[in-house]
Structure 1
Amino acid sequence: MMRKRKTRQLSTVDGALQSAFTRLGLSGKLAQQRALVIWPEVVGPQIAAATRPLHVRDGILFVATKSSTWAHELIFRKAAILAGLEQVLGKGVLNDIRFLGRGYRDPEVASAPEGRVEPGPQEWGEVSLTADDQALLEERLQEVHDAELRARLERVMAHDLRARRWKEAHGWPRCPQCGLPHAGPAAECHLCRPRWTGRP
């Protein structure tokens, strides 16, 4: 019963997010990359603490786990996790998850090209959302009526907006394809940039 209720809630979110993606032009590769952001919200704190989503390639989400034991355990939960991600991202965005039991190390600060440094939570937390940002959040979440689920999704979306506003304020260039700020040095962001043959 709880699973059915959660599925209905996430189905509602699916419609809201898909509409937002269409209005903002966030589709395809960008939609896939949202899996990295929403991963903790979908899998819950216990699994999130033992995993790190790495990247999405050809519709496959690669996730590092803290041990091979965790990797084997999550293989049995893969169908349920994939279904949960699908309810938020939409059908066809992801088609598989690969769990890598090699462990991971969280970098304290990630350095970006051209001397730019990816902002951490301490920077994001200092960014105040504008009235337009708040209106955008309300528009995206207008079809989400469950209070708890709405609050969780609002935190994720606000996180994205604050990071974007921080980058804009610090002079990060905009990608000519998707319009989002990125580190450079290429004109396009790493999501829109064409892949080189043989790139790992």
Structure 2
Amino acid sequence: MSRARPSAEIVAKILRQKGLSAGIRRGRALVLWPEIAGPALSELTEAERLEDGVLLVRVADSVVAHQLTYLREEFIRRYQEKQPGLVRELRFVVGAEKKARPKSKPAVLPKLNPEEESRLQKLAQRSPQDLQEVILRAGRAVLQRQKENPHPPCPICGGPSREHPCKPCQTLLAAPAVQREAGRLIRFPLKTRLEGEPLQAARYLAQQKLEAQLRDLLPQVIQQPELMPILQDTARRYLQLRTGEKEVRAYRHLLPESLGSLLKEV
């Protein structure tokens, strides 16, 4: 019997399948900032957004920004201890002091329904104890923003977008490194060289190409049954790419509908 995988791996897989991974990763960086900066500095600063591993932090004025640059490496080190690879760089943006913002009523975000809340609770329970509250808060924020925005999330970065993929991710898909990774993933779905959103983009591209291969192979296999092993191998790689699992028999339901009845083994 195979060993149970660490809970962190299970959570990462579920988040990836639900399309929440990128958004929750960003939310986790923002939620952790007060702990990283400490009580005093968090009163004068606010983590604003995470872009490609670069965390943008809004600060009270240029003097504070200048002083914080001397602490950049320490902040990055603390992030590395909490969440390795999450934040690779920090940039300080001068703006209004956090506590001096207009006292207007905050926007009321849509509430999560019981099913959504239950799903988040289950995700949190499967994660390490020290991350459970972070995942809950970040997950709620991501889902609430998605419900507030009428546009569905981009299949790569998870951000709301009229276009799918969104324009920044379309640019990412055209990057040579992403295309090379996608070519590798088509052949070896479990061997990755990239990480973060470039990896997500490469997975998306590889999945699209494998789906096209499956559609092309299906009518040929019907006419030439001896091609069935090729179809099975393509379907196995497709499911490995989608699930991150080596053994994929339990995931046949994730195959395109037209293949489900034909493929008994993958």
The answer as to whether partners of 1:65 and 1:71 remain within 8 angstroms in 2 is yes
Extract unaligned runs of 5+ from structure 1: 1-14, 110-118, 145-149, 196-200
* Residue 91 of structure 2 corresponds to residue 104 of structure 1: no
* Residue 15 of structure 2 corresponds to residue 21 of structure 1: no
Instruction: Show the 5 A alignment for 1:22-37.
Output: 22-25=13-16, 31=25, 34-37=28-31
Partner of 1:157: 135
Rounded to whole Å, the distance in 1 between the matches of 2:39 and 2:169 is: 31
1:66 alignment partner, one of 44, 47, 60: 60
TM-score (norm 2): 0.45
Give the partner amino acid of 2:161: G
Rounded to whole Å, the distance in 2 between the matches of 1:98 and 1:185 is: 29
The answer as to whether partners of 2:153 and 2:161 remain within 8 angstroms in 1 is no
Rounded to whole Å, the distance in 2 between the matches of 1:21 and 1:191 is: 23
Rounded to whole Å, the distance in 1 between the matches of 2:9 and 2:103 is: 33
* Residue 80 of structure 2 corresponds to residue 94 of structure 1: no
- Secondary structure at 2:71 match in 1: helix
Matched residue count: 160
Q: Percent identity?
A: 24
The answer as to whether partners of 1:137 and 1:157 remain within 8 angstroms in 2 is yes
State the structure with more CA Rg: 2
Root mean square deviation of aligned Cα: 4.0
- Secondary structure at 1:177 match in 2: coil
1:98 positional shift: 2.4
Q: Deviations over 1:134-189 (max 9, x none)?
A: 12111113xx3xxxxx3xx44432222223443565655132235x4x43222235
- Secondary structure at 1:123 match in 2: coil
The answer as to whether partners of 1:30 and 1:191 remain within 8 angstroms in 2 is no
Please identify which structure carries the higher helix content: 2
TM-score (norm 1): 0.57
Partner of 1:75: 69
Partner of 2:212: none
Extract unaligned runs of 5+ from structure 2: 1-5, 173-266
Rounded to whole Å, the distance in 1 between the matches of 2:34 and 2:71 is: 15
1:45 alignment partner, one of 32, 39, 48: 39
